[in-house]
Structure 1
Amino acid sequence: MTVDGVNIIGPVFGELGLGEDVRTLAEALVSSGVPTTIFNYPKRLTTRQGDRSCEQYVSDSLKYSCNIFCFPAFELMHFFLEFGPEPFEGRYNIGYWPWELSLWPKDFSFIQDLVDEIWASSAFTLNCFQNSFSKPVFHIPLIIKEPLQFEALPTSIEALEADSFKFLFVFDANSTLIRKNPKGLLRAFASAFGRSQETCLILKTMNYRHHDEELSEMIAAAPNVIFINESFSKAQINLLFKLSDAYVSLHRSEGFGRTMAEAMLLGKSVVTSDYSGNVDYCNENTSFLVEGKLVDVAPYAYPFWRDAKWFDPSHASAVSALKTCSEHPGLRQEKIEAAYKFVSEQFSTATVAEKALSRIAAL
């Protein structure tokens, strides 16, 4: 079929990674001359919806002959139930779905019947989708833009003014604490630095409503850990990155890991699990890798846990990586420079737009 333009369907105003996926893709297509409109969905989000940078592209109608669905695959069922088959009929439908596990649940493979092809943001998700679906799957990375806007934080954080080495971890509690693994990070940080005020850890989260008693006690017992449970604008998050010295993620699994790539473009060294979507850009040259092993996802620990595995970061390896990062500025700088070069080249608007356009042109 001949594509006359693209409808991107996703949470365009959302101040979260999914919203950034929608906005950067729209900007890439528009800058490449592709007629583009955005249909805001899902509208019911617990995160703030204050990013209006792409509002000029938003429409209540699907104007063009190609749909790209930029939200979780299971939300596509809700979309179909809400709007029926009409949005899909006579259009080429692409699922650009985030996914964090190496295994897709067999009972839900029927979701692919709603789309004509699937885009995967990393080699990790590409492998999962290719092993799970009969529809064609293509690797279209996420776009990572160098942050240029900075905004004062809503509250004063005294630790950010202190002369200490600052590690930062940013996560959404809605993405589950067990997958993001802040407790594993706190244990490793405590073993590496004890209660020393020369090094601090900033845990920036949001949507932390169902309090984890053990996590709260670990934070309260650590004088060098700052816990922030508040929604920040993108520009405020950028400033938090800028004021930190290094970024750390001891995740069990990530589909892509946008925050790590953004940290690299802000010139911050990254300590990270050597597993899942982030290994597309996290390697020995660009980051401080934490070793570990694959383990079964515990029953009911995560949606669709049956038969799934994920990463268990080694405590000893994490402690070593944190210490090495903080104690060796020369090595840190080497990795920072290599990471910036790689991410700025491989995940730029121009590079990803070329990949996306090649698929659209082939339709």
Structure 2
Amino acid sequence: MSILRRLPLKYRLPLIHGGLEAIALTRMGHWPRTDRLSSGPLVVSGFFNESQGIGRAGRLTAEAFEAANYAVIRHDLRPCFRHILDQKSVLPGKGGVWLIHANAPEGLVALMTHSPAQWRDRYRIGYWAWETPLAPPQWARMVRWLHEVWTPSAYVAEALAAALRAEGLDDLCGRLRVMPHPLLSAPPQPDRARFGLSPDRCEVLSLFDVNSSPARKNPWASIEAWLTAFPEPPARAALTLKASSLDTVTKTRLTERIANRLDIRLLSERLSDEDMDRLMASVDIFLSLHRAEGFGLGLLEAMNAGVAVIATEGTGNDFLTHDNGYPVPARPVPLDDPDGPYSALPHNPAQVWAEPDLQAAADNLRRLVSDPVARASKRAAARATPARLSANWSAEALKAYDFNRWLDS
């Protein structure tokens, strides 16, 4: 296992996902082809104790249900990975609804580590995000075992629908439902001193997670746009690159590129959800020159905090408009992820992502850094965006969905 962890993602993920599907195929013949659904509790499974984006999103889902007066049983998925071979994972309760807030490969682990007797009587929902126009075929095949698949954006739903059609599973497209990530919390309080930010500078923040593919998150573009906007270090502005899961190769490449630029720093401290909220609220501009997003939760969190957002337009972050932020034009280019999780995808002309216009991003940076009035001009529209997207999670909206038939009254 230690050898596997040292492999690049381009080799590691196909081995892991292929192995999981191979094990699952030996068991699927015994999985129930028909369900015997019965009423029971609402169980939400996710990576509740982890800091990566999917863990954060799972916590937001559970909190949204609770805010709508649903009784939620939180179930941590990580321990299930110890039971891939022995199938001894235990689900709380019986019957009801089981929402698995994890992508298809991890959802497969959830099913295969619990005996089918534990889940055949439950209404099953997956909550998935994908970042290219065509989801993998394994994801399409996984839909067969779920009653619904929720996606945070229409972009992800269409990627899954395209995969279902490619696998001849068109009839399953009706199981897809767009459910934008809920963000119901009040705007967090800033704390510049906690993060070494100056009260006298315009502070700009760019986030990326190495496990989510540096090529997709594209921190290099944030650096290049900054250097284009400011060939010499500005006196009253600075850029912070906040990295998660930072590896030696990526760290070396980044530090070499920003050497001798004291106005650019790399922050790799692991932060709690609360500290991430405070960090976001402590900056003036959020910069995301990604090549693709399934949703773009960081953009929405910045809007919630009243921070001006400069980000690549299109893909899953279609909630970013010229009314509430500063979309950066982009052109479609063939997907190229040399060492990340998308490198194992079969070549397909449909697999494209966006290349942001760095000059346009630099122009926005230069203007917003120098003009606090411009930074504040779209704040009200930005702060209204999370509530608009979260309308799907209101008590009234949720009560109209099919899963309620299987919950204890």
Q: Normalised by the shorter chain, which TM-score bucket?
A: 0.7 to 0.9
Would you say 1:69 and 2:107 are equivalent positions? no
**Separation (CA, whole Å) in 1 of partners of 2:110 and 2:404:** 26
Q: For 2:288, which of 223, 237, 249 is the aligned residue?
A: 249
* 1:188-267 alignment, distance < 5 Å: 188-194=225-231, 195-212=233-250, 213-267=252-306
Q: CA deviation at 1:265?
A: 0.9
Checking the alignment, whether the CA contact within 8 Å between 1:7 and 1:63 is kept in structure 2 is no
- What's the counterpart of residue 368 of structure 2? 325
Letter in 2 for 1:15: S
Matches within 5 A, 1:148-227: 157-158=195-196, 160-161=197-198, 163-194=200-231, 195-212=233-250, 213-227=252-266
C-alpha separation between the residues in 2 aligned to 1:33 and 1:145?
A: 14
Equivalent residue number for residue 33 of structure 1: 69
Alignment partner of 1:116 is 2:154: no
CA distance in 1, matches of 2:368, 2:334: 30
Identity in percent:
23
Aligned AA for 1:357?
A: K
For residue 185 of structure 1, report the CA deviation from its aligned partner. 0.8
Check whether the contact 2:182–2:386 (CA below 8 A) recurs between aligned residues.
Answer: no
Which of the residues 39, 51, 63 maps onto 1:15?
Answer: 51
Q: CA deviation at 1:157?
A: 4.9
**Distance change (3 Å), C-alpha of 1:319 and 1:34:** same
**Structure 2 residue 132 is matched with structure 1 residue 101:** yes
Deviations, residues 113-162 of structure 1 (Å, cap 9, x unaligned): 22122111112112212332342111111111335666978x9654x125
**How far 1:278 moved relative to its partner?**
1.2
Structure having the higher Rg: 2
Cα RMSD after superposing both structures? 2.6
Decide whether aligned partners of structure 1 residues 167 and 5 sit closer, same or farther in structure 2, where only a CA change above 3 A counts: same
Mapping 1:254-333, distance limit 5 Å: 254-279=293-318, 281-298=319-336, 300-302=338-340, 303=342, 304-305=344-345, 306-307=347-348, 308-333=351-376
Q: Partner letter of residue 233 of structure 1?
A: S
Does the 8 A contact of 1:101 with 1:309 survive in 2?
yes
The answer to whether the Cα contact below 8 Å between 2:205 and 2:242 also exists between their aligned partners in 1 is: yes
The CA deviation at 1:20 is 2.6
Distance 2:278 2:80 in 1: 28
For residues 24 and 207 of structure 1, the distance between their equivalents in structure 2, rounded to whole angstroms, comes to 21
Structure 1 residues 299 and 261, CA gap change in structure 2 (3 angstroms):
closer
Distance 1:244 1:177, change over 3 A: same
* Alpha carbons of structure 1 residues 33 and 245: separation in structure 2 relative to 1, 3 Å: closer
Residue 166 of structure 1 aligns to which amino acid in structure 2? Answer: E
- Asked if 1:341 is matched to 2:384, the reply is yes
**1:195-226: CA deviations, max 9, x gaps?**
22322101111210232243221122322101
Contact 1:88–1:114, Cα closer than 8 Å, also in 2:
no
TM-superposed deviation, 1:37: 1.1
- 8 Å CA contact 2:240–2:264 kept in 1: the answer is yes
Distance 1:2 1:102 in 2: 36
1:3 deviates by 4.2
SS in 1 for 2:162: helix
Instruction: Kindly indicate whether the alpha-carbon contact (under 8 Å) linking 1:184 and 1:250 is maintained by their aligned counterparts in 2.
Output: yes
Distance 1:237 1:352 in 2: 25
CA contact (8 A) 1:125 1:277 kept: yes
1:97–1:356 distance in 2 versus 1, CA, 3 Å: farther
1:207/1:126 CA distance change after superposition, 3 Å? same
Q: 1:41 to 1:334 in 2, by over 3 A?
A: same
Which amino acid in the other structure matches residue 19 of structure 1? G
In structure 2, the CA distance between the partners of 1:147 and 1:230, relative to structure 1 (3 Å rule), is farther
State the distance in 1 between where 2:307 and 2:240 align.
14
Amino acid at match of 2:153: S
Unaligned ranges ≥5, structure 1: 46-58
Letter in 2 for 1:98: A
Question: Letter of the aligned partner of 1:168 in structure 2?
Answer: L
